[in-house]
């Protein structure tokens, strides 16, 4: 099956929805825990625990990989979709800055995915000339290389390459070079995360050429598949709802 045929296929891949839904459920549980333990001070050390870090990273990795993998499903509307997601991300920034400035979200996951959608438009033309497996491996290596970039260095195997401090003036914050004193409760800069997003993009033709995998991805998982189809709106609404629950709980029992 050619890539063109795959992209035109109308079959719904419910398992992708379910995986997205599972990541969203985990994100809601993570944010609820964050609200209770960190914002309401029940256990501030929770955020620094290794298990918390790996849980948070697992959620992010799965969301970003699935988003990159799914880009081709909405390729025709990618410009509109990218602008829409960025608009929602800016709205979240404005609301958090006005309502809970201590937990402001600047360039969070929605802004990143919105930019990922837009940046993949030119890649979609160039990337088709690169063998999918090679492209996925290159992007995964670049992701590992640039993973610590916001901390001021690159990781070259066992070596650390310090980056010029002039890059961290604040002008390039959205690209992964935050300035001194920068804070965001949800920060996903273009580097390194765009390479993980593009890893998912390259994995699409690699996996979808297999009929057995396409059939497997068509499996519907009740509830999770439905949640995964409404990810954006649940994501936008879940934190205000969680905060409302916490406010009521704290007023009654704390």
One-letter-per-residue 3-state SS of the chain: CCHHHHHHCCCCCHHHHHHHHHHHHHHHHHHHHHHHHHHCCCCHHHHHCHHHHHHHHHHHHHHHHHHHHHHHHHHHHHHHHHHHHHHHHHHHHHHHHHHCHHHCCCCCHHHHHHHHHHHHHHHHHHHHHCCHHHHHHHHHHHHHHHCCHHHCEEEECCEEEECCHHHHCCCCHHHCCCCCCCCCCCCCCHHHHHHHHHHHHHHHHHHHCCHHHHHHHCCCCCCHHHHHHCHHHHHHHHHHHHHHHHHHHHHHHC
Closest CA to 185 of 29, 39, 42: 39
What are the structure tokens assigned to 229, written together? Answer: 């189809």
Q: What are phi and psi of 161, to 5 degrees?
A: -110, 110
Residue 253's pLDDT is what?
A: 65
- Please list the pLDDT of the chain residue by residue as tens digits (254 residues): 444 444 444 578 999 999 999 999 999 999 999 988 888 888 889 999 999 999 999 999 999 999 999 999 988 899 999 999 999 999 999 999 998 888 899 999 999 999 999 999 998 888 888 999 999 999 999 999 999 999 999 988 778 899 999 999 989 999 999 998 899 989 999 999 999 999 999 999 999 998 999 999 999 998 999 999 888 889 888 888 888 888 887 777 66
Residue 147 in contact with residue 105, Cβ under 8 Å? no
Sign of CA dihedral 83, 85, 89, 94: positive
Q: Which residues contact 248 (CB under 8 A, 6 or more apart)?
A: none
218 touches 11 (CB < 8 A) = yes
Residue 129 CB-density burial (10 A; 0-12 exposed, 13-18 middle, 19+ buried): exposed
Residue 106 region by backbone torsions, left for phi larger than 0, else alpha for psi between -120 and 50, else beta: beta
pLDDT of residue 254: 61
Residue length, the chain?
254
Report residue 213 CA to chain centroid gap: 24
pTM, rounded to two decimals: 0.90
CB 175 within 8 A of CB 97: no
**In the structure encoding, which two tokens stand for residue 39, read together?**
């914002």
């Amino acid at each position: 099956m050619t890539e063109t045929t795959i992209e035109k296929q109308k079959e719904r891949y419910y398992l992708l929805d379910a995986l997205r839904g599972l990541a969203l459920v985990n994100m809601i549980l993570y944010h609820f825990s964050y609200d209770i333990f960190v914002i309401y001070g029940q256990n501030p050390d929770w955020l620094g625990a290794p298990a918390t870090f790996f849980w948070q990273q697992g959620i992010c990795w799965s969301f970003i990989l699935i988003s990159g993998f799914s880009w081709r499903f909405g390729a025709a509307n990618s410009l509109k979709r990218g602008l829409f997601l960025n608009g929602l991300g800016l709205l979240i920034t404005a609301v958090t800055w006005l309502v809970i400035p201590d937990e402001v979200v600047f360039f969070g996951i929605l802004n990143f995915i919105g930019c990922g959608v837009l940046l993949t438009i030119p890649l979609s033309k160039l990337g088709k000339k690169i063998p999918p497996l090679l492209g996925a491996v290159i992007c995964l290596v670049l992701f590992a290389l640039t993973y610590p970039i916001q901390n001021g260095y690159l990781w070259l195997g066992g070596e650390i390459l310090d980056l010029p401090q002039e890059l961290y003036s604040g002008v390039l914050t959205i690209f992964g070079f935050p300035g001194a004193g920068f804070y965001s409760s949800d920060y996903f800069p273009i580097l390194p995360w765009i390479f993980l997003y593009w890893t998912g993009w390259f994995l699409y033709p690699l996996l979808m050429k297999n009929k057995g995998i396409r059939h497997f991805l068509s499996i519907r998982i009740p509830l999770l598949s439905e949640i995964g189809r409404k990810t954006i709106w649940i994501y936008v609404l879940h934190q205000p709802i969680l905060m409302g629950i916490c406010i009521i709980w704290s007023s009654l029992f704390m």
